[in-house]
Structure formats: structure tokens, C-alpha cells
């Protein structure tokens, strides 16, 4: 028995003191998260992360800048979420509205307040989610 598991890059693009978050149209108002996407055949998880950031938000990142943070199994649909932080080379956002409703750069202070539940506009995934962990790891670095 060889169960199928699909790799998914879940990533936080960072530039200076800001990180990129996005939201899908069907999410509750104010809910934001890191971006994510499935690996395509023949690409590394780092390449998938850089490709997804460029496709979904227009942000260019060098796959070589990817830093592995953690992974999390996601049973629906049989995925392994691989969490990465990448250095953004660009900061102008161009949203693919087929994928995201919006995306924006948040400051480290914004992220700290969001994680604490005190941000006046945004909230993020709960502590059990790898997206929360990525945001927390980055926020605690500064």
C-alpha cells in the first residue's frame, strides 16, 4: 500500500519589515493568511513557492532564498503543507483574482497584533495551523 500525498508549498514572502498576506473571497471579513499552492510535476517545493507567489500576487522571489520552517499534514485532500519563508525581490502586488480577493504587505507590528488578536482590521489562522506558525516565527525575529 502506497498512499498518495501531494506536496503543497505554504509560504510567507518577506521584504524588510513587511510580509505578504492574502485573502480569498469566501473567507470571513478580515481573515488573512499566507499564500499556498500545490507543487507541479518536476518542480521543487522552493520553486513551487516562488511560482505561486508570482502567479497569485505578482511577487518575485528567488527560490534559493527559501527557508524551510516546518511542515503539517493536511488530510483534505491528502496533502503535506511545507512551510517556507522567502525573500521578496519585488513589492508591487498584482493579484490574480481567480486565486485571491486581495493581498497586501503587513508590518511586523501588524502581524504581532494580529497574532495577539488585537488588530483592528485583520485576524489569522489559529495556532494549530502552519500559516499561524509561519507568521509567528517571522514576527518573533524582529
Q: pLDDT truncated to tens, each residue of the chain (142 aa)?
A: 888 899 999 999 999 999 999 999 999 999 999 999 999 999 999 999 999 999 999 999 999 999 999 999 998 889 999 999 999 999 999 999 999 999 999 999 999 999 999 999 999 999 999 999 999 999 999 8
The whole-angstrom separation of Cα 123 and Cα 56 is: 20
Q: Which pLDDT score is estimated for 40?
A: 97
Domains and CATH numbers, the chain: 23-139 (3.90.79.10)
Is 0.85 surpassed by the pTM of this model? yes
Amino acid at each position: 500500500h502506497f498512499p498518495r500525498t501531494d506536496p503543497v508549498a505554504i509560504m510567507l514572502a518577506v521584504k524588510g519589515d513587511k510580509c505578504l498576506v492574502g485573502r480569498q473571497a469566501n473567507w470571513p471579513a478580515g481573515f488573512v493568511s499566507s499564500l499556498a499552492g500545490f507543487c507541479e510535476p518536476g518542480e521543487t517545493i522552493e520553486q513551487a513557492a516562488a511560482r505561486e507567489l508570482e502567479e497569485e500576487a505578482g511577487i518575485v522571489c528567488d527560490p534559493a532564498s527559501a527557508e524551510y520552517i516546518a511542515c503539517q499534514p493536511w488530510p483534505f485532500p491528502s496533502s503535506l503543507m511545507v512551510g517556507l519563508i522567502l525573500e521578496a525581490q519585488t513589492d508591487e502586488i498584482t493579484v490574480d483574482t481567480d486565486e485571491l480577493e486581495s493581498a497586501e504587505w503587513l508590518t511586523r507590528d501588524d502581524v504581532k497584533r494580529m497574532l495577539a488578536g488585537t488588530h483592528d482590521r485583520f485576524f489569522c489562522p489559529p495556532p494549530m495551523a502552519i500559516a499561524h506558525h509561519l507568521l509567528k516565527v517571522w514576527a518573533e525575529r524582529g
